[in-house]
Amino acid sequence: MLDYEVPSEPDVVMKKVFVKTYGCQMNVYDSQRMADALATDGYAPTDNIEEADLVLLNTCHIREKAAEKVYSELGRIRQLKEERLRDGRETIVGVTGCVAQAEGQEVLRRAPVVDLVIGPQTYHHLPAVVKRVRGGEKIVEIDHTSDDKFQHLPQPQKSVVRHRGVTAFLTVQEGCDKFCTFCVVPYTRGAEISRPVAQIVAEAERLAEAGVREVTLLGQNVNAWHGRSGDGQEWGLGELLFRLAQIPGLERLRYTTSHPRDMSDALIEAHRDLDKLMPYLHLPVQSGSDRILKAMNRKHTHDDYLRLIDRIRAARSDIAMSCDFIVGFPGETDEDFEDTMRIVREVTYAQAFSFKYSPRPGTPGAELKDHVPENVKTERLQRLQALLSEQQRAFALSKVGQSMDLLVEKPGRYEGQRVGRSPWLQPVIVDEAAGGIGEMVRVRIAEAGPNSLIAEPA
């Protein structure tokens, strides 16, 4: 049975678990599923680390900075653990996620405060591992197991889903077989796996029944998802989206992160034909230079990417493009960087994330010669980010005066305000009279602030 009940007897004092999430949305999803698994074991979630009997850091290994943050946090947690011990309270400390997977035993060596290290493939073992730690063991579990963790992780109760809000993530695919030479994901998250159709549909239906209106399908390589329909047909993400669009109550669908090589015709058709599929696409290109794209093992050129965008825009003219870029990959010359600036001008992005290349242990990129000096990386990043923010600002301004559907998500920062998202993922602030949380309302954009749009009822 996948469902569970939170123990309700008054004499059961639940222990508390605090989960801190780093990195991508897949980690956000995993953190929730871990909390769900631990709830069956008597751990209630808390936002206050000081009252936590179990502290989990769900970590990211994508760049050096992300990984180092974890160790400084563990330093603070060591103090906290000592303080709590003086009051006679034990604290179990766990490291999960991609740092756990990449560093394993090394985490215990560098941070002896840690009691358990568990990789993304074995989260369904977490309750059992915590029990053993309570018995005095230290545990490292980072095998890539073949059993299906998603099948074994409990689904949250409807009340829990409701509490989390009207939008939800749903991981449909994990891992990566692409082996871009800068990236640790194929090593930390392992080979590509796709969750079966029936499991995904069941989870999406549960979310919808609990009041979720918008689902974002997640995968490190989400558009490489594939599966088989009930009648045995081979499906890709496009077909899956058509199926999910039939679920009553689900108003909006999104997906992330995609690889340009896996934008199938069916997926592009889904953008053309499905009103529920939002006109927003995060499609990382990383670099605009063919030479660097080749060295990155991206398996596409500058031109391939532009032609793909043309096809996507022909299918859905109002689609907003989002992207990831890396500057200063080994061997990147001024000319290569100008090609990146050029592709940004050619495509025009509504949103983008850009990073300085960070050599990751064990990846082929780290072994390359001609590393770009830090000051050159900084300068290139500044120029790129200036151009990208200009485009982002222009995109926001282009919405002023337009009417659009807004999914009202939560109370705003100030009394009487509510915040929702536009179809293009922009936060929109509106008066609470416009509509209740979970409602889709028609609004007109009055103003574009630096980080959000301001709307009035249409």
**Least distance in angstroms from the C-beta of 126 to ligand SF4:** 17
CA–CA distance from 180 to each of 117, 142, 184, 223, 299 (Å)?
26, 23, 9, 16, 9
Report the alpha-carbon distance of residue 86 to residue 89 in Å, rounded: 7
Return the residues of window 213-252 that contact ligand SF4 according to CB under 6 A. 220
Find which of ligand SF4, ligand 5AD, none residue 412 binds, CB within 5 to 8 Å per kind: none
Find which of ligand SF4, ligand 5AD, none residue 448 binds, CB within 5 to 8 Å per kind: none
Q: Which positions touch ligand 5AD (CB under 6 A)?
A: 62-63, 182-183, 284, 286, 324, 326, 355, 357-358, 360
**Which of 180, 198, 197, 176 has its CA nearest to residue 188?**
176
Q: Cβ(17)–Cβ(46) under 8 Å?
A: yes
Q: Which two tokens stand for residue 22?
A: 């780093």
Q: Mutual orientation of helices 237-244 and 265-273 as an angle, nearest 10°?
A: 30
Q: Cβ(26)–Cβ(32) under 8 Å?
A: no
Query: Torsion angle, CA of 100/101/105/110, rounded to 10 degrees?
Result: -40
Would you say 18 or 355 has its CB closer to ligand 5AD? 355
**Which of 456, 457, 458, 436 has its CA nearest to residue 447?**
456
Q: Cβ(11)–Cβ(130) under 8 Å?
A: no
**Least distance in angstroms from the C-beta of 294 to ligand SF4:** 23
Find which of ligand 5AD, ligand SF4, none residue 284 binds, CB within 5 to 8 Å per kind: ligand 5AD
Find which of ligand SF4, ligand 5AD, none residue 23 binds, CB within 5 to 8 Å per kind: ligand SF4
Q: State yes or no: residue 31 binds ligand SF4 (CB under 6 A).
A: no
**Least distance in angstroms from the C-beta of 172 to ligand 5AD:** 18
Q: Cβ(439)–Cβ(448) under 8 Å?
A: no
Q: Cβ(297)–Cβ(259) under 8 Å?
A: no
Of residues 60, 95, 293, 309, which one binds ligand SF4 by CB under 6 A?
A: 60
Would you say 98 or 208 has its CB closer to ligand SF4? 98
Return the residues of window 153-192 that contact ligand SF4 according to CB under 6 A. 184-185, 188-189
Would you say 155 or 358 has its CB closer to ligand 5AD? 358
145 prior amide bond cis, ω within 30:
no
Find which of ligand SF4, ligand 5AD, none residue 63 binds, CB within 5 to 8 Å per kind: ligand 5AD
Other beta carbons within 10 angstroms of residue 451's beta carbon come to 10
Q: State yes or no: residue 26 binds ligand SF4 (CB under 6 A).
A: yes
Of residues 98, 215, 319, 321, which one binds ligand SF4 by CB under 6 A?
A: 98
Q: State yes or no: residue 61 binds ligand SF4 (CB under 6 A).
A: yes
Find which of ligand SF4, ligand 5AD, none residue 188 binds, CB within 5 to 8 Å per kind: ligand SF4
Site for ligand SF4, rule CB under 6 A: 23-24, 26-27, 60-62, 97-98, 184-185, 188-189, 220
